Amino acid sequence: MRKRNIRRALVKNLLSLLIIAIHISPFYVQLIMALKTRRDFSSRWVPPASPTLDNFTLALKGGELMQSILNTAIIVLIATSLIIVIGAMSGYPLARYGTKFSKTLSLLLLGVMMVPPLSVLVPLYRELVMIKGINTFWGIIILSITYGLPTSIFMYTNFIHTIPVALDEAALLDGCSKYTIFFRIIMPSLKPVTASVAILTGINIWNDYSFQLYILQKPKLRTITLMLKTFFTEGNTNLNAAAAASCLAILPLIVIYLFLSKYFVQGVVDSAVK
């Protein structure tokens, strides 16, 4: 029996090793590319004899990449904060008051989660031209908020369902209004789900390409995804620098992920539509 368990553990570890190798290989290849010079024609699987950081220097030259990371960070921070506030505010009545109106609203929000951004981008672009939102941060922020909100409201609604209604009722008897209940009772207990909401919606905005492509057309306003596109467009022959830029763009996410992986996993489970 013991021998069988040891063999089982060995098989599981070997199998995992193979799976890890398959999943990590494209990232490994990209890193190797980033560390090699352009004139190094060895196989992309083989690490360079003398690794160079020139590609990273080249990718960072002119500060455009850093600017794009900064732009993205600003958009993500502002949009995510507002998504949290508006999401929590809307989640409260939807979880607590089962009126016809709130039920219809919940259903419509689920619908919005399915809207493919590209299917509305032509009219959305036209609308933003009219209100002068093209090439502005507020334009992209307001779209990021709108399309991030359904997930946030959905997660807050589910979470508030798990807070005992007895607390609300006690507060109501104590003379709290339905609005102060939200600030006194509900808001203080939202911390755990807020971490998940922030990570999930923040990452989505960080990774967005479609809205940003249409709204931010000036080079100065480029976000990470738009910036990376310029490294890889046809005519750019320096693939090693492109690989370095791509590594730099992915790095912040990996760092955040390694520190907060618990919340990532929780976020996926929390946001799962049942």
Partner 1 sequence: MFKKKAGVASDNQVVLVMTLPAVLLMIVFVAVPLVMGVQISLTNWNGYSQDFTYNGLANYKKLFSDPMFLRAFRNTIIYGFGSTLFQTILGVLYALLLQRAFALRGLARTIIYLPAMIAQLLVGYVWYFMVQYNRGALNDIVMMLGGTKLDWLGVGDRAVIIIMIINTLNFCGKAMIIYIAGLNSIPDMYYEAASVDGANGWQQFWGITMPQLIPAITTSTLLNLIGGLKMFGLVISTTGGGPGYSTHSLSSLINSLYFSYQDAGYASAVGVFTFVFIMAVSIVIRWYLAKKEAAAQ
Residue 24 is encoded by which pair of tokens?
């990590």
Cβ neighbors of 3 (< 8 A, separation 6 or more) are none
Per DSSP, helices labelled H in the chain are 2-35, 54-60, 64-96, 100-114, 117-130, 137-161, 165-173, 178-181, 191-207, 210-215, 224-232, 239-271
Length of the chain as a residue count: 274
| Least distance (Å) between residue 212 CB and partner 1 | 10
CB atoms within 10 A of CB 53: 10
Question: Which candidate, 171, 196, 203, 165, places its Cα nearest to that of 184?
Answer: 171
| Least distance (Å) between residue 272 CB and partner 1 | 4
| Least distance (Å) between residue 67 CB and partner 1 | 18
Cβ proximity to partner 1, 13 vs 57, nearer residue:
13
Cβ proximity to partner 1, 113 vs 163, nearer residue:
113
| Least distance (Å) between residue 108 CB and partner 1 | 7
| Least distance (Å) between residue 26 CB and partner 1 | 5
Question: Which candidate, 15, 41, 14, 44, places its Cα nearest to that of 31?
Answer: 44
Question: Which candidate, 14, 16, 33, 9, places its Cα nearest to that of 245?
Answer: 33
| Least distance (Å) between residue 71 CB and partner 1 | 15
Cβ proximity to partner 1, 67 vs 207, nearer residue:
207
Tally of helices (H runs) and strands (E runs) in the chain = 12, 0
Residue 189 is encoded by which pair of tokens?
């207990």
Cβ proximity to partner 1, 160 vs 221, nearer residue:
160
Cβ proximity to partner 1, 169 vs 174, nearer residue:
169
Is the dihedral angle over the CA atoms 248, 251, 252, 253 positive or is it negative?
A: positive
